[in-house]
Structure 1
Amino acid sequence: MSSLNVFLIQTPLVWENPVANRARLQWHLSQTMPNSLVVFPEMFSTGFSMNPEKVAETMDGETVQWMSQMSQDRMICGSLSIRENDLFFNRFLAFYQGKLVAQYDKRHLFSYGGEQNFYQAGNQTCVFEFQGFTLAPFVCYDLRFPAWIRKTVLQSTPIYPDILLFVANWPSARISAWDVLLKARAIENQAYVIGVNRVGNDEKGIAHNGHTQVVKYDGEYLLEPHQREAIAHIFLEKSPLVQFRERFAFLSDADGF
């Protein structure tokens, strides 16, 4: 059955400096392998900027083109600030072999930080395939809203997503919630859960201590949280997940939407 090499890049982000951030990420990419999944944090090109008029790119902008170029032999994904039809979106993009294979606009905008004043919320779920796995992407604050995540899971039936993927700029002050919620999403959806966060302080002095991690469908860690800049490599296998779901068929009792 299917297996997948995953590389999770936990890195500081230079404030509103796409050139510097792409250069740093490209160095990390040199340590990954072909046919792998590589995941960047939320707004990886700028940090969590509420200046979209300044930093947002179009879908043919430099960072999007860079993702396409870097994805010739591996899948690359993360979110960035996108301008489309005079509106702004915090948009997750996934590229493979130079082509856009998935996009998802952050559904839950972070009102505590005023994100809703600058960006438009998405209203579409997203599920895509890679190397025999089904993935569902989400962005940061989405993690706090299990009904939206369960809706995504159930709408993809008869094949539930194997991997729930969260990219974030989640601050150190609330990192305990990040840890608990990632485990909860894994247990309740019987899926691998990947959470990729940044490290370092942003321009506003908000600290981020990473805690990038991978949680199994049973709530146990495959990759435990860590706080340093690093690229983590994890190997996922589909057969244990399938066997677990067959043995404990809890999703068949889930409420519908």
Structure 2
Amino acid sequence: MSEKLNIAYIQANLQWENAEANRKLFEERIGEVSNQVDLIILPEMFTTGFSMNAENLAEETEAETLEWMRSQAKRKDAAITGSVIITENSNYYNRLFFVFPDGTYKLYDKRHTFTLAKEDQTYTGGKERLIVDFKGWKICPLICYDLRFPVWARNTVDYDLLIYVANWPEKRINAWDALLKARAIENMCYCVGLNRTGTDGDGYVYNGHSGVYDVLGNEMNQTNREDEYVLELSLDKTDMLDTRKNLKFLQDRDRFSLDL
């Protein structure tokens, strides 16, 4: 088990519906990441932007982007995660891959499809939450709109790190800032939110505000940055567990189950 987890996230302006250009962009940015990093985080739909054009953009699971993620994980000897548009059994999914350094992977299909953008009319929602065991850390990766639903993220399994990859628009960025902080506090965990920048093909503007929060909701980086940049940060599991032990808030959590 590693007491430290070194993460890097890449806040970037995605090229609209251009997978090749986006993979090239992220490959260059990943090249900037130090060799000490354990986990690299990419945005939601990082190859296309938040597009409903799934019929023309979707890949099979075992296709080019997953192979690219495997090659990048091997290149940096680090795990890598982010979501892409996937087709499977005549359905489309906003699917997150968590790729380990050895090329094996876990997947999570976005549970809460964004009805305001009619995502629910294009993509099939997932049914199962993913908890990844990596270097002695329990990690719960979720996607964008999932952030608005605290029950889905509720820390019933003592995970250590909650991750949201997103295309969250500028017009609702105050909610993004507030809810990331709230998820860290209520779940007594580290919470990372990675958003994109720029303007997409539908005219929506994104202004970043990617952030990292500790177990008490304290900001660990400058969360209001709107430019493209790569952040590296070290998370300390001992500090988090000591705070949980001292405050014991998770011991008082409600017990419940979800009807899916």
1:22 and 2:26 aligned: no
Shift of 1:205: 1.1
* Residue number in structure 2 paired with 1:71: 73
Deviations 1:99-147 (A, max 9, x none): 2332110000000000000000001011012222110010000000001
* Residue number in structure 2 paired with 1:60: 62
Distance (Å, rounded) in 2 between the aligned partners of 1:68 and 1:101:
9
Q: Report the AA paired with residue 145 of structure 2.
A: Y
* Residue number in structure 2 paired with 1:227: 226
- Give the 5 Å matches for 1:20-59: 20-34=21-35, 35-59=37-61
SS in structure 1 opposite 2:222?
strand
Candidates 77, 90, 97, aligned match of 1:93: 97
Deviations 1:26-77 (A, max 9, x none): 0001011335210000000000010111001111111111011111111110
Alignment RMSD? 1.0
Shift of 1:204: 1.1
**Is contact 1:70–1:98 with CA below 8 Å preserved after alignment?**
no
Tell me the TM-score normalized by structure 2: 0.94
Distance (Å, rounded) in 2 between the aligned partners of 1:196 and 1:146:
18
- Give the 5 Å matches for 1:1-257: 2-34=3-35, 35-72=37-74, 73-150=77-154, 153-154=155-156, 156=157, 160-225=158-223, 226-257=225-256
Deviations 1:82-103 (A, max 9, x none): 1011101001101112423321
Distance 1:193 1:235, change over 3 A: same
Distance (Å, rounded) in 1 between the aligned partners of 2:111 and 2:98:
17
Distance (Å, rounded) in 1 between the aligned partners of 2:222 and 2:130:
27
Distance (Å, rounded) in 2 between the aligned partners of 1:81 and 1:100:
19
SS in structure 2 opposite 1:120?
coil
Which deviates the most, 175-184 or 124-133? 124-133
Q: Report the AA paired with residue 79 of structure 1.
A: S
SS in structure 2 opposite 1:20?
helix
**Is contact 1:3–1:132 with CA below 8 Å preserved after alignment?**
no
Distance (Å, rounded) in 2 between the aligned partners of 1:167 and 1:48:
12
**Is contact 1:3–1:131 with CA below 8 Å preserved after alignment?**
no
**Is contact 1:42–1:168 with CA below 8 Å preserved after alignment?**
yes
Distance (Å, rounded) in 1 between the aligned partners of 2:88 and 2:151:
28
Distance (Å, rounded) in 2 between the aligned partners of 1:93 and 1:180:
26
Distance (Å, rounded) in 1 between the aligned partners of 2:252 and 2:105:
31
Q: Report the AA paired with residue 203 of structure 1.
A: G
Q: How many residues align?
A: 251
SS in structure 2 opposite 1:43?
coil
Which deviates the most, 178-187 or 131-140? 131-140
Deviations 1:173-231 (A, max 9, x none): 00000000000000000000000000000001100000011001101011121111000
Unaligned runs of 5+ in 2: none
Unaligned runs of 5+ in 1: none
Percent of residue pairs identical? 40
SS in structure 1 opposite 2:221?
strand
Deviations 1:152-186 (A, max 9, x none): x21x2xxx111000000000000000000000000
